[in-house]
Amino acid sequence: MSAAVHSLKKNYKVYLFESSNFPGGRCRSFYEKRLNQEIDNGNHLVFTANENFYELCKIIKSTDTIKTLPPNLNFFNLNNNSHWSIDLSKISSLRLLLGKNKPIPNSSFIDYLSILKFLFVNRHRTVSEIIGGSNIFSTLWDPLTIGVMNTSSNYASAKVLSNVLKKTVLRGDKYCYIYQPKINWNKTLIQPTINFLNNHGCRVQYKSMLRKIDVLDNAVTRLYFTNQVVDVLKNEIVVLSIPPSNLQKLLPQYTFPSSYNSIVNVHYKLNRNLKKKFKHSIIGFIESHTQWIFIKKNHISITISNANYLNSYNTEEIATLVWKEVCKYLNLKIGIPDYQVVKEKKATVVQSPKNFDIVEKIKNLPNNLRISGDWTQSDLPCTIEGSILSGRKAVT
Ligand SMILES: Cc1cc2nc3c(=O)[nH]c(=O)nc-3n(C[C@H](O)[C@H](O)[C@H](O)COP(=O)(O)OP(=O)(O)OC[C@H]3O[C@@H](n4cnc5c(N)ncnc54)[C@H](O)[C@@H]3O)c2cc1C
């Protein structure tokens, strides 16, 4: 959709095909019967550093649907019941380094110096290789890596985490504020984009899965969708913005990343009294299955990233497991409320040096073919920002 918006801005004629019957892909909202409301499939955190995201929202005129939260992250360690917070607007990296702030219990200022290890990292290294011995590895570095890259530190690319740190924390607190939709992602990103496309003469053709492409003389000449065949004219370009496993089927002669990590979200319906018991609107959990709790209007939404280990659990097992942890945070014993579990088995590719290496080696595509999507940006994590940037770059 980003590629389409940026093409329309340049006055190109755009045809957009989508395999499913809804827009948004991995960032979508849907009506959930049990909770009786429209919810997001997951909790997408976007930061003020994510300039391409904000630029797109300006183009589609949705900036007034965004709220900006201070960079104040609150944590609860389930193992020892400790609560602590990091307010990045109050702690500059300099203050941390000078030992003026030590937000994590039992940490010393030397532990925070470890961030300097990310200034110069080799692109073949993993986060664990850089910082695995740190005293705040399990309380900060590993949860941070999983939150940002949906990949455990043992596999996550240190170079990409380093790029994120350089664009956010190390650049200054003003790049670490959190963007959240006032209502949901459909209202902030998806529907306004669809409106923009419609207003510029581009209607998404749903239920159109691309199954095969013809390439002749190093140019894509024909696209075979489930419901139609489309000839590609000489002056046209094709942008394939699809996950690598699907692309692999269309372009078997190239190698694309093939390993994924899932993200599980559990949404619980919540009454007002219970909602009041959560002290913050976003809470990070440490040493638990639960990683983040987002407090919404009528429900709470829990994120578990790097969650392949939950793929074999059924929804009831997951909802029960997580609810026990929520009760521990609340220090209450309450029966499980209505819930919905959303398992995204291919939430992102494994963001390892190996997979980023594979992406960098994708060369010599047909002349009129571009690829985009979050996974195509080998210097950024697989995020909304990377996805939007990749769409813009594909048509620039
Ligand atoms: C649960 C969850 C939580 C996340 N949390 C965050 C977060 O906190 N912050 C953040 O920035 N990012 C987050 N992400 C990642 C973010 O959602 C993705 O990076 C982004 O949405 C990817 O967009 P995309 O357009 O690159 O790919 P997709 O959203 O996967 O879009 C690809 C589209 O192509 C369609 N398609 C696939 N194959 C074909 C075909 N053959 N023919 C036609 N159409 C096809 C698909 O149906 C889909 O609509 C999260 C993702 C998930 C799943």
Give the number of the atom of ligand 1 that is nearest the alpha carbon of residue 250.
Answer: 41
The residue ranges of every structural domain in the chain are: 2-68+179-257+352-394, 71-79+87-176, 260-349
Mean pLDDT (whole number) for 196-202: 98
CA distance 356 to 350: 9
Given this model, what pLDDT does residue 191 score?
A: 98
CA of 94 to the centre of ligand 1 (A): 36
391 membership: H or E segment, kind and range: helix 384-394
Give the number of the atom of ligand 1 that is nearest the alpha carbon of residue 373.
Answer: 26
92, pLDDT greater than 80: no
Measured between its terminal Cα atoms, the distance across the chain in Å is 14
Q: What is the band of 94 on the pLDDT scale with cuts at 50, 70, 90?
A: low
Residue nearest to atom 20 of ligand 1 (CA): 384
Topology classification of domain 260-349: Polyamine Oxidase; Chain A, domain 2 (3.90.660)
Topology classification of domain 2-68+179-257+352-394: FAD/NAD(P)-binding domain (3.50.50)
Given this model, what pLDDT does residue 105 score?
A: 79
Give the number of the atom of ligand 1 that is nearest the alpha carbon of residue 390.
Answer: 26
- Say yes or no: do domains 2-68+179-257+352-394 and 260-349 share a fold: no
Residue nearest to atom 15 of ligand 1 (CA): 383
Mean pLDDT (whole number) for 315-328: 97
CA distance 100 to 117: 20
How much is the pTM?
Answer: 0.95
Q: How many of the other CB atoms lie within 10 Å of CB of 135?
A: 15
Contacts of 79 (CB under 8 A, 6+ apart): 286, 287, 288
Q: Which of 374, 388, 389, 392 to mutate to test the pocket of ligand 1 (most atoms within 8 A of CB)?
A: 374
**H-type alpha helices, 254-314:** 272-275
CA of 25 to the centre of ligand 1 (A): 5
95, pLDDT greater than 80: no
Mean pLDDT of the chain: 94
Give the number of the atom of ligand 1 that is nearest the alpha carbon of residue 147.
Answer: 8
Residue nearest to atom 37 of ligand 1 (CA): 242
Q: Tokens for 202?
A: 């581009």
113, pLDDT greater than 90: no
Give the number of the atom of ligand 1 that is nearest the alpha carbon of residue 1.
Answer: 25
pLDDT digits (tens, 9 = 90+) for 31-76: 999 888 899 999 999 999 999 999 999 999 999 999 999 999 899 9
- Measured from CB, residues less than 6 Å from any atom of ligand 1 are 17-20, 25-27, 41-42, 44-46, 209-210, 241-243, 246, 263, 265, 344, 347-348, 373-374, 382-385, 387
CA of 243 to the centre of ligand 1 (A): 8
Mean pLDDT (whole number) for 130-147: 93
